[in-house]
Structure 1
Amino acid sequence: MKRRQFFRLTATSTGGMLLLPNFLTAQNLFDINTTLSDNVLIFIQLNGGNDGLNTFIPFSDPLYYQKRPKIGIPKDQIINSVNGMGFHPSLKDFAKISQDGNLTVVQNVGYPNPNRSHFRSREIWQTASDSNKYLDYGWLGRFLDIQCNDKSLAALNVDNIDSLSLKSSLANSITVKNFNKIKQYNATPENQLKLSDNPQLDFVRKLEYASLEGMDEIDKALKKAEKLNESYANNPLSKNLEWMSKLIKGGLNSRIYYTSLNGFDTHNNQIQRHKKQLSILNDAIFSFYKDMKHNNLLDRVTLVVFSEFGRRVKENGMGTDHGTAGPMIIVGGNNKGSVIGKNPNLINLDKGDLIFENDFRSVYATLLQSKFNFDSKAININNDVISGIF
């Protein structure tokens, strides 16, 4: 296998600092720890800063329309109203999931001393650090380092780039760009592991071989799920979720999946741009939701949607600028189908931005505790869990 092709296919093994003595056998890289439950967490990161106020909308507050005379969503278009809040019309199927009791909204999620830079705020969310601290490894990567056997394929990133969230001291996740190429790179005899007297060369060989074995496990899972195909919407995010669904139905041991959707930096032409992106999100998640429900997997699969920050309360004319807090959305996993937190306070603002009510790390702590019986303090997330989500 050509090295250039290998790295193009997998993007990278998301391990960060991989030390040669830790490589024992390729099999070690893909044996999941039996203490990890069969629950699955899937994260969708909305890149660009999703406008939460136009996603889950405080339509009953007249200040919403005063501050957004051009981009405010008309009351007669808002759907599934609950306690003065409702969904953007493009999220019509979110409303259906909510009515089924399988969607929870956590309102006003953020963190102290917010950073309005895309890159820095994503880093804060992905490492679960304080806004003035920098961490080398992602919050999920640190969790997997503790929870999983040495070098298990515990997580899969389905994207064009790696996610810092999964970066760890062990190689327990990989990034796959194109599942259609998996079959071309199985661990065939000519690619079997061959060691030499050169430790540096062996390091690369073992990394490549381990990833090949990981892709072989992925291919096996895809084959097992061939007769369990469901109809999905036609968009890139939907395709990523469809691949994840096949791997889950095919019995892949991975317990964490990660992907992203770009296009939420709506400084201008927000009405059309936001409508388009929310439609993609709606169609993709509803396709996945129906699939999981039909195959009796919804109770153990939890999907989490978040963005690095929300937008400013007041429009800038035809769009919105970088803000702070916003909603997180949770689908499946036996969530209670509730709305957590107060409606956005449009009077008491911080320099024109919402003041957060729920720290995103509390949501992380809740997910780890509920789904894996894991105390987040072990990875230096010391926030309390949030009651009422699960």
Structure 2
Amino acid sequence: MPIHLDRRRFLRDTGLLLAGAPLSRALNAQTTDDYRALVCVFLFGGLDCHDVLIPADTASWNDYARLREPLLAQYGTNRLRSKLLPLEGAISSENGSRSFALPPELSGLKSLFDRGRLSWVGNVGPLVTATNRASLEARSVPLPPRLFSHNDQQSVWQASAPEGAQYGWGGLFADALIGSKLNRDATFTTVTGGGADLFLTGRQNVPYQVNVAGPTEFELAELLDVEANSSLTAFSAMLDARKAASGHVLVRDTADAMIRGFSANRDFARALAAAPNPDNPFPSTGLGLQLRAVARTIAARQALGVRRQLFIVGAGGFDSHSNQARTLPQLMQTMDTSLLAFNNAMEDMGLGNSVTLFTASDFGRTLAVNGDGTDHGWGGHHLVMGGAVQGGQILGTVPPATLGHDQDAGGGRLIPTIAVDQYAAALGIWLGLSQAAVSEALPNLANFSSQPLTGLFRT
């Protein structure tokens, strides 16, 4: 069988392979400039949204506790109603007189909500068009592909298509910035700290991947059987010579991609070396280290020549089919401390109003329990954080803690009431993109007649 080489994909993937760069120094407070960035925190596995925005008024809590009794018993005192952290913010009219609370592990996010620096968005998820239980059962509307599948729904969230998609909406947003004079070039417009590159891959844009572990020896020369004492400068010169001498397009393209990778690594290392040091610590967790790397990159924004950036970081382990009461609290604690540290870093840098962080996940989970865990869902509740956010709000609809309502796909799987496209559009408009550019990146946006998140950001 002949082998088909996708030259564009080869070059893109080769560039990503060489894009990892060491981080050298950190950041400190500095004045704001005309800069904006979006940071996506992707929670891999499917966050149990029913254990994030917890019903707190008496009637809703009673419904919730009855359905979740086996799981709440395993949580012990951590999920007593008296231990929950009440959210005393503005609640959208769709939620009526109901009230909500956070679990005790999210005390840092509760403080940001109270300070007006964080809002929750209820029941977000992939949709092709508005859908409810009746239209789902009648099969009268098109549905997102391959619902409830981890890999596919991660891809649909990031790229509006199942596994195998090529371009993410973050990367398409970045494509729209090319040539806008906001960024000197495209190299550092999108940055990934966790390897989740689909979200940030555009038709023209390729994400730059940072090394979150700190300074390391660059081992590529050794891997390619170049003498260990060969300098990168000498190795680059060798690549230049190979490129000039070869008559084979693949050899030339490979050498060119490597040269660009080395050049980007040098530029990135120099920019970070000149960036100021941080005053606040980050937790030494995977998510904490990734967000620390994002903060360091933002500190070096002027040397990197960027005024608009998009980032993605990731945390795994949220597929809580079993042992949820044991594993999920620790995961949420890690998320809480990491996001709070990042917020503090942005405020220390004077960029609190310039950087917006938001969460995403494969899907929510079922309200019904399976014994000691929950199963794959659809819609989920997410947070948007930053000084530009009109904080202290719960936007959108949080469906009731019952089964069989209009947005229940079965077992408490929430049929989303806010599409990922609508969620993403609000973020893209805040970043400074035109409505046309946002619509081009989000293929299903035209199927929705309104934008439910018009009050998400301060005007």
TM-score, scaled to structure 1: 0.84
**1:30-53 superposed Cα distances (whole Å, 9 cap, x missing partner):** xxxxxxx62011111000000011
Tell me, yes or no, if structure 1 residue 156 matches structure 2 residue 191: yes
Q: Match for residue 387 of structure 1?
A: 454
Offset of 1:144 from its aligned partner?
1.8
1:188 to 213, 222, 233: 233
1:346 to 393, 398, 401: 401
2:206 to 172, 178, 193: 172
Note if contact 1:17-1:169 (Cα within 8 Å) is conserved in structure 2.
Answer: no
User: Structure 1 counterpart of 2:287, which letter?
Assistant: L
In structure 1, list runs of 5 or more residues that go unmatched. Answer: 1-14, 20-36
Q: Match for residue 218 of structure 1?
A: 268
Tell me, yes or no, if structure 1 residue 80 matches structure 2 residue 86: yes
Distance 1:229 1:184, change over 3 A: farther
Offset of 1:163 from its aligned partner?
2.4
Tell me, yes or no, if structure 1 residue 51 matches structure 2 residue 48: yes
Note if contact 2:45-2:316 (Cα within 8 Å) is conserved in structure 1.
Answer: yes
Offset of 1:215 from its aligned partner?
1.6
1:248 to 298, 306, 309: 298
**In structure 1, the residue corresponding to 2:39 is in which secondary structure?**
strand
**1:15-43 superposed Cα distances (whole Å, 9 cap, x missing partner):** 84649xxxxxxxxxxxxxxxxx6201111
User: Structure 2 counterpart of 1:232, which letter?
Assistant: F
Note if contact 1:162-1:175 (Cα within 8 Å) is conserved in structure 2.
Answer: no
Q: Match for residue 423 of structure 2?
A: 363
In 2, the alpha carbon distance for the partners of 1:182 and 1:368 equals 35
**1:222-259 superposed Cα distances (whole Å, 9 cap, x missing partner):** 21224345312221211111111111112243601111
After alignment, is 264-273 or 177-186 more displaced?
177-186
In 2, the alpha carbon distance for the partners of 1:229 and 1:243 equals 15
Note if contact 2:170-2:199 (Cα within 8 Å) is conserved in structure 1.
Answer: yes
**In structure 2, the residue corresponding to 1:43 is in which secondary structure?**
strand
User: Structure 2 counterpart of 1:239, which letter?
Assistant: L
Distance 1:220 1:178, change over 3 A: same
Q: Match for residue 342 of structure 2?
A: 288
Tell me, yes or no, if structure 1 residue 147 matches structure 2 residue 177: yes
TM-score, scaled to structure 2: 0.72
In 2, the alpha carbon distance for the partners of 1:364 and 1:328 equals 12
Offset of 1:135 from its aligned partner?
4.1
Q: Match for residue 117 of structure 2?
A: 102
Offset of 1:177 from its aligned partner?
3.9
After alignment, is 252-261 or 332-341 more displaced?
252-261
Note if contact 1:229-1:246 (Cα within 8 Å) is conserved in structure 2.
Answer: no
**1:67-97 superposed Cα distances (whole Å, 9 cap, x missing partner):** 1002243211110333511111100100111
After alignment, is 89-98 or 222-231 more displaced?
222-231
Offset of 1:134 from its aligned partner?
7.1
Distance 1:268 1:310, change over 3 A: same
In 1, the alpha carbon distance for the partners of 2:309 and 2:232 equals 23
User: Structure 2 counterpart of 1:350, which letter?
Assistant: A
**In structure 2, the residue corresponding to 1:71 is in which secondary structure?**
helix
**In structure 1, the residue corresponding to 2:69 is in which secondary structure?**
coil
Q: Match for residue 68 of structure 2?
A: 68
User: Structure 2 counterpart of 1:214, which letter?
Assistant: A
Offset of 1:181 from its aligned partner?
4.5
Note if contact 2:197-2:207 (Cα within 8 Å) is conserved in structure 1.
Answer: no
Distance 1:361 1:182, change over 3 A: farther
Note if contact 1:237-1:284 (Cα within 8 Å) is conserved in structure 2.
Answer: yes
After alignment, is 229-238 or 334-343 more displaced?
229-238
Distance 1:100 1:187, change over 3 A: farther
**1:144-194 superposed Cα distances (whole Å, 9 cap, x missing partner):** 2232147533111111x3421122232531223455346748963542461
Note if contact 2:125-2:157 (Cα within 8 Å) is conserved in structure 1.
Answer: no
Q: Match for residue 306 of structure 1?
A: 360
Distance 1:156 1:306, change over 3 A: same
Q: Match for residue 328 of structure 1?
A: 382
Which has the greater radius of gyration? 2
**In structure 1, the residue corresponding to 2:71 is in which secondary structure?**
coil
**1:325-361 superposed Cα distances (whole Å, 9 cap, x missing partner):** 1111111041001210133223412212222111111
User: Structure 2 counterpart of 1:303, which letter?
Assistant: L
**In structure 1, the residue corresponding to 2:199 is in which secondary structure?**
helix
After alignment, is 213-222 or 284-293 more displaced?
213-222
Offset of 1:377 from its aligned partner?
1.2
Q: Percent identity?
A: 22
Offset of 1:59 from its aligned partner?
2.9
Q: Match for residue 4 of structure 1?
A: none
**In structure 2, the residue corresponding to 1:188 is in which secondary structure?**
helix
**1:252-275 superposed Cα distances (whole Å, 9 cap, x missing partner):** 436011110000011111112110
In 1, the alpha carbon distance for the partners of 2:43 and 2:80 equals 24
Offset of 1:128 from its aligned partner?
2.3
Distance 1:333 1:128, change over 3 A: farther
User: Structure 2 counterpart of 1:164, which letter?
Assistant: L
Q: What count of residue pairs does the alignment treat as equivalent?
A: 356
RMSD, aligned CA: 2.4
Offset of 1:54 from its aligned partner?
0.2
Q: Match for residue 118 of structure 1?
A: 150
